[in-house]
Chains A and B, each alone.
Chain A
């Protein structure tokens, strides 16, 4: 039997949507018992959310003021202590999980698997490398703990409605004082979250300015969509960094992705491979984005996008 510990990502009050997907991956391992570990200042509502996820056996909480912000250097030793009786420790391959899980693995003296995209057995997994150009099958040794991150775009969230027991635990771990949280600046937006939105409208370098990016926002708002961008648009300062989609930004899987003025570099495409339908609007008929688009429209975005927004009424 596999005993899997999933590390909960949260913002201090709600569970991150990536966790229901991480649990979905864990649940693909046969004969697995899945516990979720919530490290927080006050775990209450977060633990309750985790307990509602299907396939979860137990929710464990470690509450302390030092867990108010997710600092890997402080969380890792506690996770190592809590992971002793587990065969697997999983986290989401979000910035949180990518920051944390290698530190956990190194403290446990094992290698870590990044971005599990499918489960072939309790110790056999597939993951993408080379910006998604290659898929490799990995087998982890059976005699040591498996530490991994889960590529959340490859999984659908498990259902809710469960009521797993919640237990507060304490661990014996030395917490360093060398790392301190200062502050965080969250991009304020009423739009759906890029990583969970069913529809995403994304703009690229072709938008040309902060002002022109309003075309993207207006269309997104018509569709109730989240907004994304290419690296070029972020680097040029048209939008904030958290909107970047791709190899080094966010990997997303909306039902509908509309790429506007984006050429379709491999680094961008790897972020949208799992989208249900990809629409591309680009004035260059030869743009590589058309090779992956389900629906392509060759045209100037400055006429096409306002027309489309209009047509949606």
Chain B
């Protein structure tokens, strides 16, 4: 195929323990480490491997976000993507609008495959790939742990609750990457230098002519309820007694 499009979302790094703002109006993200959503690194790695084995000729990474998402796109370029597109917007769009914006890019770029993450670890929505596939009228294969391309078709192995499932889809299609699809490569310093010269186009979200979806309002943010502090026991006998006391044995 010609082209694979990969979605890269800028998110709070998975190692950061986020906190709710004291007034409950949102999540504290000032000065917090930001990264590519881990699942999107996996999505990009897969696209790169497909290209390296001759299955595709160009990898385009796309992000919807503030201009700061340039950093994540540059990292994507350093990993090996050929080109980047940043759809700039100051306020985080709802998922449907984001999927509609991605569809615009899909229509312009005409990729043979779109790979996104199975979920973004900030909002934990797990929706964008499926919405894009629906709007595009194309197949979706979520939670992929293996992609086998075969001409204008692909067999996708999916991680499902009872084990694994394989489905066959016609291309183009949207695939969402699960944890065990691959292990993403590390970026090397020379690649970071090279990435600076690769094209990164910015398009204003407003210019795409995307209709905003019906908005779901986020009215308040709060920390989760804490579990009560437990007890430490000294040995197995103590554990067994403690379990018996609670009526669990």
Interface residues of A (CB under 8 A from B): 11, 71-73, 76, 94-96, 98-100, 102-107, 109-115, 124, 128-141, 143-144, 176, 178-187, 195, 199, 231, 234-235, 240-242, 247-248, 250, 255-256, 266-267, 273, 277-279, 290, 292-299, 304, 307-308, 311-312
Q: Is B88 an interface residue (CB 8 A)?
A: no
Q: How far is the CA of A100 from the CA of B239 in the complex (A)?
A: 43
B18 touches A111 (CB 8 A): no
Q: Which residues of B contact A307 (CB under 8 A)?
A: 236
B residues in contact with A195, CB < 8 Å: 161
Question: Does the CB pair B124–A114 fall under 8 Å?
Answer: yes
Chain B residues near A113 (CB-CB < 8 A): 216
The DSSP consensus for interface residues of chain A is mixed
Cα distance A280–B99 in the bound complex, in angstroms? 42
Residues from chain B with a CB closer than 8 A to the CB of A107 are 134
Contact A114 B125 (CB under 8 A): yes
Interface residues of B in 193-249 (CB under 8 A from A): 213-224, 227-228, 230-240, 242-243, 246, 248-249
Q: CB distance B127 to A136 under 8 Å?
A: no
Q: In the complex the two chains form, is B230's CB within 8 Å of A296's CB?
A: yes
List residues of chain B with CB within 8 A of the CB of A109.
96, 213-214
> Per-position contact with A for B109-144: 1 when CB-CB < 8 Å, else 0?
000000000110111111110111111011111110
Indicate if the CB atoms of B222 and A278 lie closer than 8 Å.
Answer: no
A106–B131 CB distance below 8 A: yes
**How far is B236's CA from A167's CA once the two chains are assembled, in angstroms?**
55
Tell me whether chain B's interface is mostly helix, strand or loop, or mixed.
Answer: mixed
Known: A73-B133, A114-B124, A130-B27. Is A185-B140 also a contact (CB below 8 A)?
no
A131 and B121 contact, CB distance less than 8 A: yes
Sample (18) of A-B pairs whose CB atoms are under 8 Å apart:
A94-B161, A95-B160, A99-B130, A103-B134, A106-B131, A106-B135, A107-B134, A124-B219, A129-B123, A134-B20, A136-B221, A138-B217, A184-B164, A247-B121, A248-B119, A273-B224, A294-B230, A312-B249
Q: Contacts A136-B218, A136-B221, A279-B243: A106 and B96 contacting too (C-beta < 8 A)?
A: yes
The 3 closest A-B pairs by CB, nearest first: A106-B134, A102-B130, A102-B127
CB atoms of B224 and A134 under 8 A apart: yes
Q: Quote the shortest CB–CB distance from A304 to chain B (angstroms).
A: 6
A137 adjacent to B126 (CB under 8 Å) = no
Report chain B residues within 8 Å CB of A106: 96, 99, 130-132, 134-135
- Contact status A241-B130, CB under 8 Å: no
B17 within 8 A of A: yes
Which residue from B131, B227, B233 sits with its C-beta under 8 Å from A296? B233
Which of A94, A144, A240, A293 touches B230 (beta carbons < 8 Å)? Answer: A293
Residue from the set A178, A195, A199, A298 with the largest chain B CB neighbour count within 10 Å: A178
Give the distance in Å from the alpha carbon of A276 to the alpha carbon of B234 in the complex. Answer: 22
How many angstroms from the CA of A301 to the CA of B18 in the assembled complex?
A: 32
Taking a contact as CB atoms under 8 Å apart, the answer to whether A295 and B231 are in contact is yes
Q: Are A71 and B167 in contact (CB under 8 A)?
A: yes
Tell me, rounded to whole Å, the shortest Cβ–Cβ distance linking B142 to chain A.
5
Contacts of A298 in B (CB 8 A): 232
Partner of A96, one of B17, B19, B140, B161: B161
Please, which residues of chain B bring their CB within 8 A of the CB of A105? 96, 127, 131
Q: Which of A135, A139, A241 meets B159, CB within 8 Å?
A: A241
Those of B41-55 within 8 Å (CB) of chain A: none
CB-CB under 8 A for A130 and B248, given A178-B139, A247-B124, A294-B231: no
